Amino acid sequence: MTDPWFALRRFTQARIALGRAGHAVPTEALLDFQLAHARARDAVHFPWNVERFAEDLRAMGLESLILRTPIRSRGEYLRRPDRGRTLDAESRRRLDDLEGGDADVALIVTNGLSSTAVERHGLSLLEAVVACCRSRRLRIGPIALVENGRVALSDEIGHALGARVAVIVVGERPGLSAADSLGVYLTYAPRPGNTDARRNCISNIRPPEGLSYETAAAKVIYLAEEAIRRRISGVDLKDEQDAALAPSPEPPGLER
């Protein structure tokens, strides 16, 4: 009997309408599941080559700053989320020694729970975000690269850089349908002690299946400009970009 959900498979990567072989799933579906599981585990446990990432940024003409958390292994990163939310003492000193402190946007990148996502999409997304910042005359500081960081780390870095908005690009927790999604979190007036309620999130950045780099960058800049203009972020700041871009209905009397 044909599975009535089979026609819906072209709309989603979710595992629906897999079929049946006796009381189990077909061999092809089982192998596909095991492959996806292996890719998800690899995304979590592979270390991020942050030095090579910095070299690639330099080749693109972008300045970066490598910082560190107190974490020294992926195992520790998974067991101690709290240690991924702070910088180590040497990194704090490096930030304190920086001159400037007048950035509009502090850009931070960390591999988070998916090194695969940052390796695959990080450079292209940063290129799009930086281009949007420059086109809108938003000042950005050196791009902070931090291995084994958590989202709240953006508060400490953004505050130290004196930025009005902190934007952190992070590898999202991998699933069995996607192991390479990037997320972006934006916080107005970053400072240690902020809660997640102060953050806006843009998720599932991974073209071609997910959000494109250009669309994600446009949303980042829209939210950053609105956050600066209205001095809010998180639950107080809604993404109304799509509504603003929607064509206005024709006034009465102009219908054709």
For residue 132, say whether it is annotated as part of any ligand binding site. no
CA distance 152 to 199: 10
Whether omega for the bond prior to residue 208 falls within 30 degrees of 0, making it cis, is yes
Structure tokens given for 252? 């009465």
Structure tokens given for 246? 């929607």
CA distance 186 to 194: 12
Q: DSSP characters for 168-225?
A: EEEEPPP-SS-S--EEEEEEES--TT--GGGEEEEEEE-TTTSB-HHHHHHHHHHHHH
CA distance 200 to 197: 8
CA distance 84 to 131: 29
How would you classify the pairing of strands 64-68 and 143-147? parallel
How would you classify the pairing of strands 165-171 and 105-110? parallel
First and final C-alpha spacing in the chain: 50
CA distance 27 to 35: 12
Give the ranges where 46-97 is alpha helix by DSSP (H): 50-59, 74-79, 89-97
How many helices (H) and strands (E) the chain has is answered by: 8, 6
* β-sheet bridge partners, residue 145: 66, 109
Q: Residue positions in the annotated binding site?
A: 151, 172, 201
Q: Residue positions in the annotated binding site for adenosylcob(III)alamin?
A: 151, 172, 201
